[in-house]
C-alpha cells in the first residue's frame, strides 16, 4: 500500500556513516510524508532492515565495518527491497558493481533533495504498480504474472529485483521488437534522469543469469549489437488475463 493512497506511510531506511547526511535526508523525507529509519553502517543496517522491513533503502557505498557492497551481497539473499545507492565516487566501475550486486538505481553526491525524492517515488511506483488488467505472459518455460510479480522458469520460482522484473515485462510484452538502451532506461526509471547507459547492460546480464540456461548463449534475451535488446522473435507473445 503506497503513501499516495493515504493509508500508510512508506518506510525509507537511510544508511550512511555521516551523521549530518542521515539527519538532513531524514528531516527532508519526513517532511515529504515518509517514515524514516537510519543506520550508520552496513552491519547496523542489516539489523534495522530485518526488523523494520523498509519499502526502500538509500545506501551509501563507502562505510566502516560493512560497506554498501557487502550489505547488498548479504541482504539480497534475504529480500528484494529496492536499493538506491548514495555514492560520492565518480568512477563508472563503482556504480556498475553496485548494479551488478542488485541495486536498482544510484545517485551521486552531492545530490539535490528534490531529485532524490523524485527517484525514490519513481522506484516505489514501479514496485507498487498494479495493472488494471493483470497479465500472465508465457514464453517456452517462462511464466510471468504481472499481478503478483512472480516469475516461474522451468517450474521453479525465481526472485528478480524490481528493475529486473520490469525489464522482463517490457521485453516479453513485445517479442521481436528491438528496444534501445535509452528506451529501456526511460521505461524502468519512469523519469528521465541522467544515467549510465551501461547500467541497462548490467541489469540485462543479471536477468540472463536468472532466466537463461546458458547466459553466455542466451535463448530469450538477444543483444542487437549497436542498438539494444529484444526478446527472441521466435517466442510469440502469449498471455492470459
What ranges do the domains of the chain cover?
3-128, 136-240
> pLDDT of 167-187, one tens digit each?
999 999 888 899 988 888 777
Helices 162-173, 113-128: axis angle to 10 degrees equals 60
**Fold held by 136-240:** Arc Repressor Mutant, subunit A (1.10.10)
Q: By the 8 A CB rule, do 46 and 81 touch?
A: no
Report the alpha-carbon distance of residue 200 to residue 75 in Å, rounded: 22
pLDDT at 2 over 60: no
> pLDDT of 73-83, one tens digit each?
999 888 889 99
Residue with cell 503478483: 148
* CA nearest neighbour of 153 among 144, 141, 162: 141
pTM of the entire structure? 0.65
Q: By the 8 A CB rule, do 219 and 212 touch?
A: yes
Q: Could you name the CATH architecture of 3-128?
A: 3-Layer(aba) Sandwich (3.40)
Amino acid at each position: 500500500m503506497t503513501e499516495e493512497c493515504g493509508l500508510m506511510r512508506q518506510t525509507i531506511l537511510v544508511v550512511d556513516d555521516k551523521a549530518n547526511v542521515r539527519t538532513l535526508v531524514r528531516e527532508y523525507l519526513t517532511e515529504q510524508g515518509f517514515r524514516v529509519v537510519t543506520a550508520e553502517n552496513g552491519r547496523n543496517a542489516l539489523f534495522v532492515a530485518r526488523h523494520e522491513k523498509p519499502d526502500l533503502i538509500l545506501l551509501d557505498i563507502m562505510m566502516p565495518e560493512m560497506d554498501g557492497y557487502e550489505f547488498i551481497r548479504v541482504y539480497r539473499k534475504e529480500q528484494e527491497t529496492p536499493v538506491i545507492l548514495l555514492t560520492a565516487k565518480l568512477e563508472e566501475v563503482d556504480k556498475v558493481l553496485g548494479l551488478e550486486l542488485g541495486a536498482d538505481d544510484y545517485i551521486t553526491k552531492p545530490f539535490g533533495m528534490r531529485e532524490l525524492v523524485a527517484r525514490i517515488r519513481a522506484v516505489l511506483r514501479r514496485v507498487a504498480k498494479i495493472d488494471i488488467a493483470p497479465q500472465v505472459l508465457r514464453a517456452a518455460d517462462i511464466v510471468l504474472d504481472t499481478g503478483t510479480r512472480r516469475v516461474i522458469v522451468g517450474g521453479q520460482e525465481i526472485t528478480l529485483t524490481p528493475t529486473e522484473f520490469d525489464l522482463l515485462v517490457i521485453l516479453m510484452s513485445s517479442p521481436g521488437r528491438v528496444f534501445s538502451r535509452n528506451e529501456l532506461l526511460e521505461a524502468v526509471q519512469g523519469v528521465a534522469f541522467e544515467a549510465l547507459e551501461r547500467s541497462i547492460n548490467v541489469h540485462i546480464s543479471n536477468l540472463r543469469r536468472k532466466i537463461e540456461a546458458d547466459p553466455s548463449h542466451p535463448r530469450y534475451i538477444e543483444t542487437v549489437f549497436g542498438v539494444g535488446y529484444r526478446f527472441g522473435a521466435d517466442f510469440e507473445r502469449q498471455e492470459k488475463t
